[in-house]
Amino acid sequence: FFLSRCYYKNGKSYGDVVAFEELMGFIREHEMSFPTKLCHNRLFYLAIPPNVFGETGVAIKKTGLQVSGKGWSRLIIEKPFGRDLDSCNDLMRVLSAEFEEHHLYRIDHYLGKEVVQNLLVWRFGNSIFEWMWHRNAVQCVILTFKEPFGTQGRGGYFDNYGIIRDILQNHLLQVLTLLAMEPPVQADGPDAGDYIRDAKTRVLQAISPIVPEDCLLGQYKGYADDETITNKDTNTPTYAALRCFVNTPRWAGVPFILQAGKALDERVCEVRVQFREPPAAQAMFPNRSLPKNELVMRLQPNPAIYFVNNIKSPGFAYKPQAVT
């Protein structure tokens, strides 16, 4: 059934206007085969190299937007939006000149993960968490992404971007903003998207520029052996960790640590909110090491949200142990 609804049209380039005109002719014929439908929406998802988003968008604008009143048109692009701020701004200028804002959807697929989608309801739909969600209770927040394999033939793409552009400044940063944001005016409804975006933006505006002293970079042994990597002297990082601070009354002084890497010991993406030590704990439990209380949100694999608490270990010894 699915394959019967899939069609292929080739062109000379991603911005081939003639090929897009032929494609739109086919789409119009397909829409006319449903005469009882008053509206036909058109969604263009660009699963293509980021450096050709601009020329493809221009070709779509010239040939493919739905006529006003007969349905909506949407253009979806996914990271990376350029390689740096300048190239990102160049891309946005090209697309903004061709499309109105309601046509453009810049997405990050990590926002579709179930645990991430749960963050808004979990944070703002449960009163018991508000009292602990601030600097007086939280010692640090650690966001981790790990993969147990390397580039596996994707080195040609990866070497142009690295782990920071590939994971930290999009996937993990999106999750950070949801963790640190203040309550939006609305979290559901037709205007909720704008309110949530504004609340997330204020978090980014409150983060101080990252300095080299707060960064750690690395590259796994054998990375340049990938046949698709042409520069065998590449210093592109495959591991990165950085510390940042959200300078708001809620989070002032609390370090947010983002770390991501390839060819590590396991496959996991998770958030660990570590809480401060209980008052006078060392006096009450002398010569005992109390494990950290943690809230763990595991995005993958096996999505889950759970607390790490301390209890006495079984037996006569009064030894605290962490349980979930």
Active site members: 171
Phi, psi of 134 (to 5 degrees): -165, 180
Spatial separation of the C-alpha atoms in residues 111 and 108, rounded to whole Å: 6
With CA atoms as reference, report the closest residue to 251 among 116, 175, 140, 142. Answer: 140
The two tokens of residue 157 are: 């793409």
> What would you measure as the largest C-alpha separation in the chain, in angstroms?
81
DSSP-based three-state secondary structure for 128:
helix
CA proximity to 187, closest of 119, 86, 96: 119
Q: Measured between alpha carbons, how far is 75 from 104 in angstroms, rounded to an integer?
A: 5
